[in-house]
Every structure is written in C-alpha cells, then in structure tokens.
Structure 1
Amino acid sequence: MDAEQLPSIGSSDAEDRRVLLAAVDSFFQYRHTAHYNVTHVRRQSFYSLPSSHWTLLAEPPFSILDNLSAVDDAIDSNADIAETIGQTGIAAFGISEHFGDHPPATSGAPNASTRKARAKPQDLDKARSTLRQLYRDWSAEGVEERKACYGPVLDALHSKFARVPRAGKGDISVLIPGAGLGRLVFDICQAGYAVEGNEISYHQLLASSFILNHTEQAEQYALYPWALNFTNHTSRKNQMQKVMIPDVHPGTALNEASEGCDVHAFERLGMSAADFCVTYKELHNREKYDAVATVFFIDTAPNPIAYIETVRDCLKPGGIWINLGPLLWHFDGSSGAKNTDDYEATSKHRLAGGDEALGIGEPGSVELTDEEVVKLVEHLGFMIERHETGTISAGYIQNPKSMLVNTYKPSFWIARKV
C-alpha cells in the first residue's frame, strides 16, 4: 500500500540523518536494553533478598522467577515488532550501510559489531513509548481512548461538511499536525476525506509507516503494552495482557472505504516529516486546507502563537480548526526538555533567501491557560464557534485495569478562520 511514504533524507543534512539513524537504531536496541533493564536487574535485586524470602517468593503461588521469565517472553514479542519497524525504516531510507549487512540468525537486529548508528538514552525511551502507543492507536483494546479523542473530531468534520456527499468528500482537504502513529489520519481518510498527517518525530513516522504500509493482515503482531511496568497491577494477568495489532488491516480497510468515492483512499492519504511551523508557513501551503485537526498537540508548542499563526496561514478563508487536548506544556521551564534531538534536527530549514528557520527550535517558551489560548485564537483571526471544557474524559496510553488511572479533562473547541 502506498498510502504513506516516508520522505527521503538528503545526505548533506548530517544532523537530520544522525537523528534518523539513532531512531532506527533505538528500535533494534529495544530487545537487549529491555531484557537488561527490566528483568536482569530485577533478578539481581530478587536474589539480594534474604534467602528465606526469595525462596518463599520463588514458589507458588508467587512464582516471581516464572513471572520474570514470562516478561522476558513478552519483551521478545515486543522486540519482534520493534525490529520490524527498524528493518522497514532501513529499506525505506536506503541506509543499510549504517547497520551492517549480516543480521544475527536469532533476530532481525543488525549485528551490533557492524552497526554504525548509535541511539542515545532518550532515543531508547522514545522507542519504548512508541511501542506502547501502538496499544492506543492500533489495538481493539485502545478503542475507548480513540473514541474519546478522535470521535469528537470526526463528528465535527461530519457536521461541518454534512452537505458534501460521501463521493465528493475527497475534495475536502484536512491537515493533522502531530499525527503520531497515524490512526486519526487513517480514520479521517476512511471517512472519505483527503488528509495529510504531519509529524516531527522519526520514531512516530517509522512506526506509522510500518503499520500503514507493511502490515499484511489484521492482528498480525502480539504486543504486551504493560509487561515492562511492575507497579499498580492488581494481578500478573493484567500486567501480562496481550493485544493484537493492528486491529484492522489498513490496506484492506482503505480499499473497502474507497467504494463509492470519486478518489481512491490511497490517493487521499499522505504524511510529511517536518516541523509544522516551518513547512506549513511556506507559500505552497498558504490557504490550502479546508480543515485542520489537532489532538493532544497544542501543548507541544514552546510558543503557541507560532502554532496558531501557522494554522491560520494554511487554512482557506472560512476553514475550520478542530482542537482537542490538555495543556501539559512540553517545554515547561521546569522540565528541561527544550531542544530535544527531534526538534533540533527536523525543524531547521533553509528559506528562499538563505536564512535558516528554526521552527519549534526557536528560543523562548510560554505556558498559557485554556482561557488564554482561546483568547489568542480569537485575537489572531478566528471566530470560536464552540468551546467545551470538562465534558470529555480521556486517558493517554492508560492501562484501564491499573490501580492508578490518570484521566485528562481536555479542552475541545471549533474555530473558523475569518
């Protein structure tokens, strides 16, 4: 399926290429680092207990050592997914020379001795969280989270474009900044619209491309989203929950969704790897889209004004902006998260005059309340048609059976460009 294509990376952009290689490498390192950090270290701690204590816990009904072995099996299952993501990334970008030519027979990971790319600790964390996000976006069990977050967006699109027959909805262009693993992009395309996802993280892009382009059937892979976490479980059964991904086969579903449409779904779905605030301010994107939908995205901005201006510039006059999400500002001054590798590498861009636009990498940041965000949206050229807070409850990669359940009360609003 050619519904999504990863961008080519110019060899002249050394930093961008380094970030890509590190992202790919992090998926290959998942198996080793998870076995070491999750089970090996726990076994050492377990055997450090008084012998009478660990002997007791090793026997039924506790069977802690058996549980750790089960976690090892789950890690291997997750690692099979991670390494497939890495292999498809290598093929898509033509970067096999950086990973060695002869992978070990026991795994899809390139030989560590010949691998030239090296992931940093933050890359390994992103690979681990990206795998867990597959639960949210591409498992049947994640449907409640998707309904809470994506449902209102789809309902708003259907309401605003109710007069357009399904056959002609391919003429309506929708942009999804912060597209993540591509499920909302897929759902909107399946509903008949022309949709473009935009994502800055190579981890997310690699995983979304794997799901959309390289899975062969529904429920092809077994994922254990909670196995690596040992806290707040009511039972080992809940910790070892298995989900199958993807819940639908994207290629088959989009083929079926193309019946009765003027434009086939494969021609209506695309992805871009770029800084939103750079690429979508360019002239060729000016007043291009009928709608922009942002879900759990606004708070990724160090400067929300830049996001609002970019949405305004790329929307057609009268176009709508649908937003749903909390305000967990990613660049809060206390977090120290400014200038992460993904932002530094993919935000730099040469403008026509030769100046370098840094996009999200620009200096400075500010954190606003929801009331202040809405006032800014109105001040910068939008009319708020609907605004709700506290009416939607949504988790984010949340284990519903955990003893600790974090729930967001996101803001939801629809604004029209005036």
Structure 2
Amino acid sequence: MPIPEYVQVHQVVVTVQQAENATNGEAPINLTSPRHEEEKTRLLSFLSRSNGKWDAHHPRHRLLDALHDYVRYEERQTAELGKWRRLYKSASAAQKKLLEREVGYTAKLDAVAALIAHNQRLCDAIVENGLRFYAVDRAELDDHIRLREADGKAADRVSVSQALKHYVRDWAAGGRGERDAAFPCILQALQSLFPDRLADGEPPQPAVKVLLPGSGVGRLGHEIAALSFEVTSNEWSMYMNLAYRYLEANPRVASSNAHPFIDNWSHHATTADMFRGVTFPDRAIDPFAVLLVEGDFTNAFTSTKNNRRQHFDVIVTHFFIDTARNLMAYLDTIHALLPVGGYWVNFGPLLYGTGPYVQLSLEEIVSVVFAMGFEFVDAPEVCGDLTFENQKIRGREAVYGFNERALVKNAYQAQAWVMRKTR
C-alpha cells in the first residue's frame, strides 16, 4: 500500500567519500594527521584475531556482532512490527472498521514497514563503511553471521535503534535542546581554565590536551576542538563507533537521513511526529579535528602499548561516570591520566546500571575523590545552582530523551563540577 501523504521519505545520501573531497569546502580538512594514522595502526592491531583470546569479549568479535546487528536491522524491526499486526487482529470487526475508516491503521503499519526499509539503507551504508574502515572482508562477516545465527543468537534490535537516535541527540537540529543543557557548562569551564590557550590567534604549543571518555557519536568532542583544544575521544560501544566512523566518511551538512522514532509507538502527539525524518549532521564535520580511541576507558590509555598516564590536561566526563561497572576503576583511571594540576570536568547524573560493584551517593563520591587527591575549583554559574552549600558542585535539569516532540520528558538533575588534581 502507498505511504500516507503525511509521511515524507527522504533519500539517504550514503556515498562514502575520501577526506580530501568529502566536504567540498564546507569544513576544514587536514589531508593527513600523524596521530590519526598512528591510532589507526594501533586499532587494527588491537582488533586482530591474534590479539588475545578469541571469545565474545574480543574487540573484533564485538565489532562483528555489531555489524551483524546493523545488517539485520530491518529483519528484527519487521519481526517486531509483525507482533503489532497480530495483536491488531484481536480487535473486533467493528473496531477495526472504525480504525480503518478514521485513521487508516493498516496503512500506518505498512508505512512503518516502508520506513524500516528506508532506515535499513542507512544501516547498510554504516556496515559498508565499517567493513572498509576496519579492513574486514564481507566473507568474514557473512561467516560470523552464519555461525552466530546457527547458535541461536538473534541480532540485537535495541542497540542499533539507540545508535540511530544518538544521531538525533548529537548531530541533528532536534537534539539542540539536550545539547544546550550540558555543553555550555562544559565549554565555559574549559575556556575559563585555559584563557591563554590562544596566542595571536594561533593554538599554543603544546596544545591543551582534552580526553572525553564515553563520547558516543562525538558531537561534544568536536565542539571542544572548535575552541582550539586537542581532543581525544574514547568509546567502548561498537554500535557508537560504527555510527561515528560513518559520520567521519560522510561529514557534509544534511548528507544523511533517518526515521529514528518509528520503533516506539508511545508518547507521540501526531503520527507525523512518529514518522518524521531527521537529517544529519547539522554542521560540517572535520574528520581530523578529534581523535577517537576505541576500547575500554580503564585500560585503553594505561596499557604498555598506549601508555597515556599523566598525559591529559583535562578529562571531561559527560553523562559517563554512572555507566561504570566499577566506579572506583573510573576514578582511578581519571587520577592516573591527569598530571598534578590537571583538571576533571564532570556533567551528568548518577543513574547506576546493572550490577555495579559500588553505588555511591554524590556526597560519598566527594569524600572519595578528596581522599584520592582532588580539590574543587569554581564551576561556571551556567552549570546550575549549588547542590551543597559548602561545596562547589552545581546541578541543573538535563533532558535525556532524543525526541523533543515526545509527550514525555526524561530529565535528570545533572551534577557538574570542576576539580584539580593536587597529588
């Protein structure tokens, strides 16, 4: 059946272009970057099957799993849609007659199916770019998919959908409200800490080095880099890394499009809101402005082959520290990677996940980091109101929901602080 007229399907631009011609002058591009070349060499070695024990935790295994899940996006979403089709059959004949006449419910289900197929084309482009970037043969991926499915392991539907929604949060106009709740606090803090980083309009030598773990699909890192900081981002999730590598290869404004809200049938004011397409990125991207280091934060920068202890001037944690299985390991790593006099800038909630080793209150975190050798410095007022009268922690509401038109709001009283390592 035809898609209802209120649904606008935009063609996804999926051409993967080389850095030297990707932006057609829309963003500054460095034709080469030694630190990017060095990291790519390290990454491919890190992903080698010979690097450690081959099991589900091996980074190449996790990469292939994520690629499998992107490949099967349409299949998994269509199976979920099939459940809604079957449940609709339980409505009475009179109820279905009314629904078909007034809202065209079957046509709505068919429209979702068409938009799922549209999103699959973007997923296919992410996969093809990932195969090229990570030097993975399609035959290797096909074998991995065959073995995984023969073992009864279905593709993960939720993780791919969440990655597509992160394009909205980080790189679409619709995510600006969420970004504006957090980014000004972090950016103003960095500017106030290093007001003399620019000399006669030129970046200083050496550059101020900022590390951003848990970077997702990367917008905050690029905003920091635009202020003339040297930014290294870090992300463990292969879903996010594949999505970001696709952006690096397709950096032009509005070069891609997705319909990210079709898998959630709740909290929509209109059907058009549910079906709407989102174009991204909303600003041109310089692929070499930020270095992405893939891997687990607690060991990616402390290994013998990639030792960055006391290397970074600032560590920025944005919606990150509560993702830890072991919060103390995060705190130990932050301490190890900063020199004495280095800064830790934090903004985010304390929503602990599944099975954390420890779950600390804000007050307890303060006690622990003081004992480790940190002290507070002033955070900008834009970070919110003081949480404790005797401490320089500020809190403000920060929405985390991806969909600014939804009839529900998920918000945190995010906590922000700036700390200096004293010992």
TM interval, shorter chain, is 0.7 to 0.9
**Please, which of 311, 328, 353 is the counterpart of residue 330 of structure 1?**
353
CA RMSD of aligned residues (A): 2.3
**Please, which of 366, 370, 373 is the counterpart of residue 374 of structure 1?**
366
Equivalent residue number for residue 106 of structure 2: 65
Equivalent residue number for residue 297 of structure 1: 320
Equivalent residue number for residue 235 of structure 2: 199
User: Which string of whole-angstrom CA distances, capped at 9 and with x for unpartnered residues, describes residues 345-370 of structure 1?
Assistant: xxxxxxxxxxxxxxxxxxxx010111
The whole-number CA distance in structure 2 between the counterparts of 1:198 and 1:181 is 10
Does structure 1 residue 28 correspond to structure 2 residue 71?
A: yes
Quick one: structure 1 residues 46 and 123, their matched pair in 2 at CA, closer, same or farther if it must change by over 3 Å? closer
One-letter amino acid of the counterpart of residue 31, structure 1: E
Equivalent residue number for residue 9 of structure 2: none
Q: Is the 8 A contact 1:300 1:331 kept in 2?
A: no
The whole-number CA distance in structure 2 between the counterparts of 1:200 and 1:36 is 28
Q: Is the 8 A contact 1:398 1:405 kept in 2?
A: no
**Please, which of 378, 396, 399 is the counterpart of residue 400 of structure 2?**
396
SS at structure 2 position matched to 1:286: coil
Q: Is the 8 A contact 2:166 2:402 kept in 1?
A: no
The percent of aligned pairs where both chains have the same amino acid is 27
Equivalent residue number for residue 45 of structure 1: 87
The whole-number CA distance in structure 2 between the counterparts of 1:10 and 1:183 is 29
The whole-number CA distance in structure 2 between the counterparts of 1:194 and 1:367 is 33
What is the TM-score when the length of structure 2 is the normalising length?
0.79
Equivalent residue number for residue 131 of structure 1: 164
Alignment of 1:126-275 (within 5 A): 126-165=159-198, 166-169=201-204, 171-211=207-247, 213-251=248-286, 266=288, 269-275=290-296
**Please, which of 344, 350, 354 is the counterpart of residue 321 of structure 1?**
344
The whole-number CA distance in structure 1 between the counterparts of 2:144 and 2:373 is 56
Equivalent residue number for residue 337 of structure 1: none
Kindly state the Cα deviation for residue 400 of structure 1 after the two structures are TM-superposed: 2.5
Q: Is the 8 A contact 1:398 1:406 kept in 2?
A: no
Q: Is the 8 A contact 1:154 1:188 kept in 2?
A: yes
Quick one: structure 1 residues 120 and 215, their matched pair in 2 at CA, closer, same or farther if it must change by over 3 Å? farther
The whole-number CA distance in structure 2 between the counterparts of 1:216 and 1:276 is 26
Kindly state the Cα deviation for residue 120 of structure 1 after the two structures are TM-superposed: 4.4
Runs of 5+ unmatched residues, structure 2: 1-18, 20-31, 380-385, 388-393
Kindly state the Cα deviation for residue 375 of structure 1 after the two structures are TM-superposed: 1.8
Kindly state the Cα deviation for residue 241 of structure 1 after the two structures are TM-superposed: 2.4
Kindly state the Cα deviation for residue 124 of structure 1 after the two structures are TM-superposed: 3.0
Quick one: structure 1 residues 386 and 302, their matched pair in 2 at CA, closer, same or farther if it must change by over 3 Å? farther
Kindly state the Cα deviation for residue 116 of structure 1 after the two structures are TM-superposed: 5.1
Kindly state the Cα deviation for residue 401 of structure 1 after the two structures are TM-superposed: 2.2
Kindly state the Cα deviation for residue 75 of structure 1 after the two structures are TM-superposed: 1.5
Quick one: structure 1 residues 99 and 121, their matched pair in 2 at CA, closer, same or farther if it must change by over 3 Å? closer
Kindly state the Cα deviation for residue 285 of structure 1 after the two structures are TM-superposed: 0.8
Equivalent residue number for residue 3 of structure 2: none
Equivalent residue number for residue 279 of structure 1: 300
Q: Is the 8 A contact 2:341 2:421 kept in 1?
A: yes
The whole-number CA distance in structure 2 between the counterparts of 1:182 and 1:404 is 26
User: Which string of whole-angstrom CA distances, capped at 9 and with x for unpartnered residues, describes residues 323-363 of structure 1?
Assistant: 01101111346xxxxxxxxxxxxxxxxxxxxxxxxxxxxxx
User: Which string of whole-angstrom CA distances, capped at 9 and with x for unpartnered residues, describes residues 364-403 of structure 1?
Assistant: x010111111221111111111464474211223322222
